[in-house]
Structure 1
Amino acid sequence: MSLTHIQAILSTTPERWQQLVRSLPLDLLSRQPATGEWSALQCLHHLLEAERFLYPVRVQAFLAGEDFVAFDPEQPHSDLASQTPEELVTAFVAYRQDSLDMLQHLQNDDLKRSVQHPQLGTVTLVEMLHTWAAHDLMHTVQAERALMQPFMLDCGPWRPFFRDHEITPPKA
């Protein structure tokens, strides 16, 4: 895929999240589908943290020729816990716009740059950009899957049509 495709995916994510936050009640956004599974709101928290502390920082590392430092996706950022979904999505939109602006300045030669990742070894910028787009889609799908759960549970005889999307609680 080209940089244009990656930018297209990254530009759709804020709009999707704005629509979800604008349209859905807090109890549905924050509903955990099963123990250990993320709610839609937790997915938004994670995407915002990645936008603040991971992907743009790593693009800058590539451009500076600096190897990556480890990133802990489980590290909580307490400043997000007190924010409303509207505040979270507003912050995400602003950070993402900055990221998209930064990506506009990349040249084809930049995409070939490589650095050392602490767990993966040598990685290229284009590989990381593909990861960023896939990461956006993965966590948006994860959020939508979490949102599906209460509807699937109450759809009666149609429930078998959704079996592939059910998040089953862990067995006791």
Structure 2
Amino acid sequence: MLVQMKFDLNKSIELLEKTPFILESFFENLSNDWLKSNEGEKTWSPYDILGHLIFGEKTDWIIRAKIILSPSKRKLFEPFDRFAQFNEDQNTMVSELINEFKALRKNNLKELESLNIKPEDLKRKGEHPELGEVTLEQLLSTWVVHDLGHIAQISRVMAKQYKSNVGPWEAYLGILKK
């Protein structure tokens, strides 16, 4: 039986604070063979995923939370470009990207804390351009799960670089089956 945690803003921040440091530790001193390899055509490398996370810090989570919390009647979110990272310089050093991500995330979490979100605020709603009505709790929960999903994706992409090398152990390595 799956036991799920009740949404808790402080527990969410706990995890969101760690993501840049997890990626920094993971990517430190890795060659471009690990960072720039993907799973095939139209898939993302760890480098691409980091760019995507940076773009989200700039244009998604906090901006949308502020829209939901604003007194405005119009609560429509701007569409999010999930592929915007491909419009950026693809030769930026990963260490620079990690530092940018760390700074953006730190600022966004300070901004989130400054919003003084109360339990009743979590039920306030905004309008997603594709999904329709969403609550602040759903947005903030998605931010956490989005980070975890991309951490898992990075691990999967990297694991698949050795898929043909593991031989019969592939049967025991679920990460290679996804």
* TM bracket, shorter-chain basis: 0.7 to 0.9
- 1:14-163 equivalent positions in 2, closer than 5 A: 14-64=20-70, 65=72, 66-76=75-85, 78-105=87-114, 106-108=116-118, 109-162=120-173
Residue equivalent to 2:176: 166
Between the aligned partners of 1:77 and 1:149, the Cα distance in structure 2 is 22
Query: Kindly tell me: are residues 92 and 54 of structure 1, through their superposed partners in 2, closer, same or farther at Cα, counting changes over 3 Å?
Result: same
Q: How far is 1:33 from its partner?
A: 2.1
Q: How far is 1:159 from its partner?
A: 2.0
TM-score, structure 2 as length reference: 0.85
Between the aligned partners of 1:149 and 1:121, the Cα distance in structure 2 is 36
Q: Which runs of 5 or more residues in structure 1 are unaligned?
A: none
Between the aligned partners of 2:152 and 2:21, the Cα distance in structure 1 is 14
Q: How far is 1:146 from its partner?
A: 0.4
Between the aligned partners of 2:89 and 2:154, the Cα distance in structure 1 is 17
Q: Deviations over 1:8-48 (max 9, x none)?
A: 12111111110122142122111112222211111111111
Q: How far is 1:155 from its partner?
A: 1.9
Query: Kindly tell me: are residues 10 and 18 of structure 1, through their superposed partners in 2, closer, same or farther at Cα, counting changes over 3 Å?
Result: same
Between the aligned partners of 1:7 and 1:140, the Cα distance in structure 2 is 16
Whether the aligned pair in 2 keeps the contact of 1:80 and 1:88 (CA below 8 Å) is no
Counterpart AA for 2:172: F
Cα root mean square deviation, aligned: 1.8
Whether the aligned pair in 2 keeps the contact of 1:33 and 1:167 (CA below 8 Å) is no
Q: Deviations over 1:39-91 (max 9, x none)?
A: 11111111111111111211221222432122221234633423111111110
Residue equivalent to 1:9: 15
Between the aligned partners of 1:18 and 1:134, the Cα distance in structure 2 is 19
Between the aligned partners of 1:47 and 1:121, the Cα distance in structure 2 is 23
What is the DSSP-based 3-state SS (H/G/I as helix, E as strand, rest coil) of the residue aligned with 1:115?
strand
Q: How far is 1:157 from its partner?
A: 2.8
Whether the aligned pair in 2 keeps the contact of 1:45 and 1:80 (CA below 8 Å) is no
**Equivalent residue pairs, number:** 167
Q: Which runs of 5 or more residues in structure 2 are unaligned?
A: 1-6
TM-score, structure 1 as length reference: 0.88
Counterpart AA for 1:158: W
